[in-house]
């Protein structure tokens, strides 16, 4: 028989399990026998195919054409050494492919490692005790507990359930939550209401379930599409990198062709012009750009993880840098989520909790104790922080009552309350706690000194005044009520007859005619680092909007304490929110300071949608099941790693490992740094490209030998430049980053500012260093203007070596200049990026090999230089460095004057 048709006892017997679960030893044996509970990827691109793809992208194809033409020219015109160039270009393709493949592989592995920082744990009953185990340790026969927001780890048969709804969309595509119960059922497993499936989620209620299938034996394991169908797309930045690279490659090809034509009309032979055209193309093609962007994204994600922000995919890193609005929860994000009962209002008077003296029969504390899902097990409190605070308060006051819970109506954001039906002795009670505006209308009486009184307007006003007073203290306020349950219900062990457990709508009928017991104010202090983070947001041009389920006065009090609001904010509560059309909501959102209070997750979704329609780039935080749509809708969905549900984590782009708002700001800073670091890399490489291009232009315009050979160009682009350039991709965020307004996603990597810097300042200085070295050596050797050197001439090889060395020396200064577009290296600190020094050491070592080793001389047509030549070229590095420092100082002063004038005008 199928497990869904068996009774509870028969189901347990079929899997040799019990209500107390498996023993630890038996669970270990079954894990060894059945293997880990995981879905294995059934289709994955082989590493070999990934590697081969590196040889077929646009840049690689362009270089393949160059290599082919080189070999063709060597066949047609032997002796021109074109075959060496062809092999060199192939070497460029191979080096670039290997390096890009390694970086992408490391980035992929790093992402897998980061995801392991947030393991998926399950509450399981082992040997009669509740414990948390990793999901892959779940085995058939395990008894698991599931509650709202949990991701279901395996296929399981319900043993107990309480208003359980599950979302089977990952399995069936149907997004509507389905009501489940634990009664035996006939038919297929997929249609059975007493079966829950791996990969689906609990949207409300709770249950106890018996696992009968794990791993690839589950329904979703058989479908085997969980990870095999996942393909990572290109981010806007990666697309921009590819677009920029293709534009540059196209321009390089056009420029090469133009100068080929110019050379032809100037009377140069075909093969000289051809070598020149190939040289121009190779000089301008940014071969190292693709691996650098991958490295920058991977390093940023790893740095974010160290700062407690887990990025689920690399494409989200850059999006963080564009964020203009952060919609944040209050509890646990802006505050510490360390709840403690601070004030109590009962018997029409306010007292601090330390002064509260309840009697054993006090109904108020009974409600706090019993209408509560937190528990104290294994010497620690487990559960929601709010409920833990109530359990501590009530437990110390009246101890354990030994009650039996008959039914529960879970809390939900719309009702804003939770209700339980409990038996104490021979009586049944309905206990309710929740928001004041939800509890008070359901009350027909109130408790005063242990006696029930009829509700009147005087008491309502007193209670509301006390409620407002507690909220003004910044406290989360809960109201408590009860009534004796007189309805006797049949309990014949058929849960389908238990209306409270199977029908989530009818319990609302029992939440009436309640007796109001009192109020408790819970204190949740703001995180100490949040005020500084809020200031940082304001400086960075990022708006912060608080969206909370707490009352408006509580939200405003906390907002003032952390510096989120300074004046009189626009405060919108849930009741008002529902009456606003989109136009009115936009007007409200245009205010400088906005707070949304008593909001439900569906309200949050609407706020995010309106902000996005207005062109904002929105980051939103969430931790509950119903936050998932807003998390998916936002540009960046941010889930809580500690308090967040599995559903929220699945829907998010980033997970806060510490639930801290300040961590969001750190992540935004890293996101901004990624884009800037790519720009630094481009400026660094383009500077040397200009320095490489100028000698070729000089060669075409003037009757001089070619100052820099193609092999020497390749030595710069994929040799001496590569590691220092990559070190710029690992640069930490500069101070200036979080003083700038968010960039637009449409902003291009190549802008007029970078082009002016490269073509009007850094590039010409570096080109002058190379040409000075070239002509300085020629002059020392007695060269006459217009004279042409024979192949293998030592003076000519020394001169080209001096040109190469001048560019390399200037690039050492350039890597420091490119570390920031406006901040001085002296204020940044020379040694804050030690990878740069490693890159420079490699650069100098490679240059020494090229200049002084016989193999280097043979491959790159160089000749050893004297120390005097190096000393002549070194001043150019200082000229470049201090020229850029001067430019930065002028730019800072200009910006300062503009800021001062803007302040005065306001």
Spatial CB neighbours of 744, under 8 Å, sequence gap ≥ 6? 322
DSSP 74-109: HHHSTTS-HHHHHHHHHHHHHHHHHHHHHHHHHHHH
**Do 106 and 299 form a contact (C-beta atoms < 8 A)?**
no
Q: Which residues pair with 121 in a beta bridge?
A: 134
Spatial CB neighbours of 841, under 8 Å, sequence gap ≥ 6? none
C-alpha angle 274-280-283 in degrees, rounded to nearest 5: 135
The closest alpha carbon to 519, from 406, 390, 619, belongs to 390
- Which residue is listed with tokens 């004796």? 484
**How far is it, in rounded angstroms, from Cα 36 to Cα 724?**
44
Cα R_g (the chain), whole angstroms: 35
**How far is it, in rounded angstroms, from Cα 237 to Cα 746?**
10
Spatial CB neighbours of 294, under 8 Å, sequence gap ≥ 6? 100, 103, 104, 107, 314
Answer yes or no: 329 catalytic. Answer: yes
What are 779's two structure tokens?
């002059």
Burial class (CB in 10 A: 0-12, 13-18, 19+), 536: middle
What are 686's two structure tokens?
């383009």
Torsion sign across C-alpha atoms 90, 91, 92, 94:
positive
DSSP 175-210: -S-EEE--S---S-GGG-TTEE-TT-EEEEEEEEEE
**Do 512 and 432 form a contact (C-beta atoms < 8 A)?**
no
How many helices (H) and strands (E) are present in the chain, helices listed first?
33, 26
The closest alpha carbon to 677, from 609, 629, 731, belongs to 731
**Do 768 and 877 form a contact (C-beta atoms < 8 A)?**
no
| Helix 794-817 vs helix 661-701: crossing angle, to nearest 10 | 150
**How far is it, in rounded angstroms, from Cα 252 to Cα 387?**
67
Mapping DSSP to helix (H, G, I), strand (E, B) and coil, where does residue 640 land? strand
**Do 722 and 288 form a contact (C-beta atoms < 8 A)?**
yes
The closest alpha carbon to 153, from 112, 209, 223, 230, belongs to 209
Q: How many CB atoms lie within 10 A of CB 123?
A: 16
Q: Looking at 329, 412, 627, 721, which residue is catalytic?
A: 329
Positions marked active-site: 329
């Amino acid at each position: 028989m199928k497990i869904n048709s068996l009774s509870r006892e028969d189901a347990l017997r079929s899997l040799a399990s019990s209500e107390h679960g498996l023993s630890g030893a038996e669970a270990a044996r079954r894990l060894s026998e059945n293997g880990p509970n995981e879905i294995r990827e059934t289709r994955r691109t082989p590493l070999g195919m990934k590697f081969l793809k590196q040889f077929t992208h646009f840049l690689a194809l362009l270089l393949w054409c160059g290599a082919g033409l080189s070999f063709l020219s060597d066949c047609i015109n032997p002796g021109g050494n074109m075959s060496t160039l062809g092999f060199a270009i192939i070497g460029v393709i191979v080096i670039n492919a290997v390096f890009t493949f390694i970086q992408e592989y490391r980035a992929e592995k790093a992402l897998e490692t980061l995801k392991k920082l947030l393991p998926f744990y399950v509450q399981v009953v082992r040997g009669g005790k509740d414990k948390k185990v990793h999901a892959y340790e779940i085995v058939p026969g395990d008894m698991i507990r599931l509650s709202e927001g949990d991701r279901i780890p395996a296929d399981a048969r319900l043993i107990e359930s309480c208003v359980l709804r599950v979302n089977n969309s990952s399995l069936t595509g149907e997004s509507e939550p389905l009501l489940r119960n634990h009664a035996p059922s006939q038919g297929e497993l997929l249609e059975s209401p007493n079966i829950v499936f791996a990969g689906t989620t609990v949207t409300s209620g709770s249950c106890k379930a018996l696992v009968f299938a794990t791993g690839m034996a589950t329904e979703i394991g058989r479908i085997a599409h969980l990870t095999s169908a996942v393909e990572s797309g290109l981010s806007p930045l990666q697309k921009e990198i590819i677009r920029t690279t293709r534009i540059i490659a196209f321009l390089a090809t056009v420029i090469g062709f133009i100068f080929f034509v110019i050379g032809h009309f100037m009377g140069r032979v075909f093969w000289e012009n051809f070598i020149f055209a190939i040289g121009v193309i190779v000089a301008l093609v940014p071969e190292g750009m693709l691996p650098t962007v991958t490295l920058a994204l991977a390093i940023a994600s790893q740095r974010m993880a160290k700062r407690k922000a887990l990025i689920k995919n690399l494409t989200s890193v850059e999006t963080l840098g564009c964020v203009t609005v952060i919609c944040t929860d209050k509890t646990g994000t802006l505050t510490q989520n360390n709840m403690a009962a601070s004030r109590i209002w009962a018997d029409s008077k306010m007292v601090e909790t330390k002064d509260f003296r309840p009697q054993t029969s006090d109904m108020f504390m009974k409600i706090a104790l019993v209408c509560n899902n937190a528990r104290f097990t294994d010497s620690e409190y487990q559960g929601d922080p709010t409920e833990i605070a109530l359990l501590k308060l009530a437990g110390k006051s009246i101890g354990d009552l030994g009650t039996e819970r008959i039914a529960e109506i879970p809390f939900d954001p719309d009702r804003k309350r939770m209700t339980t039906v409990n038996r104490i002795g021979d009586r049944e009670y309905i206990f309710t706690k929740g928001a004041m505006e939800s509890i008070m209308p359901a009350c027909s009486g109130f408790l005063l000194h242990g006696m029930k009184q009829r509700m009147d307007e005087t008491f309502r006003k007193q209670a509301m005044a006390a409620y407002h007073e507690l909220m003004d203290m910044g406290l989360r306020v809960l109201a408590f009520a009860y009534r004796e349950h007189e309805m006797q219900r049949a309990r014949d062990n058929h849960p389908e007859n238990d209306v409270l457990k199977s029908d989530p709508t009818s319990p609302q009928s029992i939440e009436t005619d309640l007796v109001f017991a009192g109020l408790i104010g819970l204190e949740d202090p703001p995180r100490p680092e949040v005020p500084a983070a809020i200031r940082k947001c304001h400086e960075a041009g990022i708006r912060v909007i608080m969206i909370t389920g707490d009352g408006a006065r509580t939200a405003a009090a906390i907002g003032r304490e952390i510096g989120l609001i300074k004046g009189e904010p626009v405060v919108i509560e849930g009741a008002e929110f529902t009456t606003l059309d989109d136009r009115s909501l936009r007007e409200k959102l245009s205010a400088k300071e906005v707070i949304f209070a008593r909001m439900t997750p569906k309200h949050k979704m609407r706020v995010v949608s309106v902000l996005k329609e207005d062109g904002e780039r929105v980051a939103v935080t969430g931790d509950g099941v119903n936050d998932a749509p807003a998390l998916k809708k936002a540009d960046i969905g941010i889930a809580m790693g500690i308090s967040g549900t599995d559903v929220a984590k699945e829907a998010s782009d980033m997970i806060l490992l510490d639930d801290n708002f300040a961590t969001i700001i750190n992540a935004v800073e890293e996101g901004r740094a990624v884009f800037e670091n790519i720009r630094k890399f481009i400026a660094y490489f383009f500077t040397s490209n200009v320095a490489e291009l100028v000698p070729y232009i000089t060669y075409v315009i003037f009757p001089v030998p070619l100052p820099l050979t193609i092999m020497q160009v390749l030595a710069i682009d994929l040799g001496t430049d590569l590691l220092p350039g990559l070190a710029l991709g690992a640069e930490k965020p500069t101070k200036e980053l979080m003083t700038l307004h968010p960039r637009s996603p449409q902003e291009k990597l190549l802008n007029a500012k970078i082009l002016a810097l490269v073509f009007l300042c850094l590039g010409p200085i570096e080109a002058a260093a190379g040409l000075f070295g070239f002509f300085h050596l020629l002059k020392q050797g007695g060269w006459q203007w217009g004279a042409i050197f024979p192949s293998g001439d030592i003076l000519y090889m020394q001169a080209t070596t001096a040109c190469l060395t001048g560019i390399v020396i200037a690039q050492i200064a350039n890597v420091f200049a490119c570390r920031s577009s406006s901040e001085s290296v002296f204020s940044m600190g020379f040694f804050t990026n030690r990878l740069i020094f490693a890159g420079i050491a490699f650069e100098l070592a490679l240059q020494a090999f090229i200049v002084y080793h016989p193999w280097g001389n043979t491959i790159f047509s160089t000749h050893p230089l004297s120390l005097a030549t190096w000393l002549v070229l070194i001043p150019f590095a200082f000229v470049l460095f201090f020229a850029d420092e001067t430019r930065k100082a002028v730019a800072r002063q200009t910006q300062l004057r503009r800021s001062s004038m803007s302040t005065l005008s306001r």
